[in-house]
Amino acid sequence: MSGRGRWIGGINPVHAAVSQGAGRVRRVWVDRKRDDRRLRTLVEQAEAAGIAVERVTAKALGRHLPEVRHQGVAAEVVDGDTLDESALIAHLQGVSHHALIVALDGVQDPHNLGACIRSAEAAGADALIVPRDGAARLTPTVERTAAGAAQWLPVAAVNNLARTLGDLRELGLWVVGTAGDAPQTLWSADLRVPVVLVLGSEEKGMRPGVRQRCDMTVRIPLVGRTDSLNVSVATGVCLFEALRQRGAAQVDQSSGGG
């Protein structure tokens, strides 16, 4: 198997990777002293997919994932799932529906990035874009926080986010930025068109060059004393407002979905 490998940990991230088969996962390590139903099921799935499973010590798992709550399981996966600019454009040109994309401008907290990825995948987004420099990248902490979603959602790391947004506008996507001082609310924006939702960093918001590339800016109405939302929360609000407008946010009452 070619490509540079990296380690991910946690039952959900490893399960999502194993679901993609041996072409995605080099090997799975499981804590030899842990034995629970979910781990047994994961081992069975890995072995059925032809993936090597090794029983190791908790210390060995901790060496690869020192800052991640790995739940007794880790996998070495093939790197290269992050798209560059040209691969992103090619991916979007193959989308037959109205695209829904998230662009994060300078989000540096890995937990926030992981939560944004999880919300974007849950909302059926087509891709998530981050700057290559000055922002959080895919790490074991991000993968763990995303709870497996990072294995399914295409993530693009681009050299110049403002330029990439310009390229997406040329493809016919509407670029909608979020800002607390925006003149109109999120509820009044038409998100049924192909759209890129742009959210800024935790402290500074969108950079001026990125904001200039937006076709419009919107704000999420806040009625309490708090003057802003965490970026991952704001991402979820924007995504599911787009989904609601598109008529795809159907809650299965029989299963208690929500």
Sign of the alpha-carbon dihedral angle for 150, 153, 159, 162: negative
Whether 86 and 154 share a structural domain? yes
- For the sheet containing 184-185, what is the strand order? 82-83, 155-158, 127-131, 100-105, 195-200, 174-178, 216-219, 184-185
Whether 64 and 186 share a structural domain? no
CB distance 210 to 95 below 8 Å: no
What pTM did the predictor assign? Answer: 0.75
232, part of any domain = yes
Domain count, the chain: 2
Residue type, 144: R
253, part of any domain = no
Higher pLDDT, 240 or 77: 240
pLDDT tens, residue by residue, 97-149? 999 999 999 899 999 999 999 999 999 999 999 998 888 887 778 877 887 78
Give CA torsion, residues 38, 142, 110, 180, to 10 deg.
-90
8: left (phi over 0), alpha (psi -120 to 50) or beta: beta
127, part of any domain = yes
Whether 122 and 26 share a structural domain? no
254, part of any domain = no
pLDDT of residue 243: 94
pLDDT tens, residue by residue, 166-216? 999 999 999 999 999 999 999 999 999 999 999 998 788 999 999 999 999
pLDDT over 80 (residue 253): no
CB distance 129 to 173 below 8 Å: no
- Please tell me the distance from the alpha carbon of residue 242 to that of residue 240, in angstroms, as a whole number: 5
114, part of any domain = yes
pLDDT over 70 (residue 245): yes
Domain housing 58: 5-78
Q: Of 56, 78, 100, which closes a domain?
A: 78
211: domain CATH number is 3.40.1280.10
Distance of alpha carbon 241 from its chain centroid, rounded? 18
pLDDT over 70 (residue 254): no
For the chain, counts of helices (H) and of strands (E): 9, 12
pLDDT tens, residue by residue, 46-55? 999 899 999 9
Whether 101 and 228 share a structural domain? yes
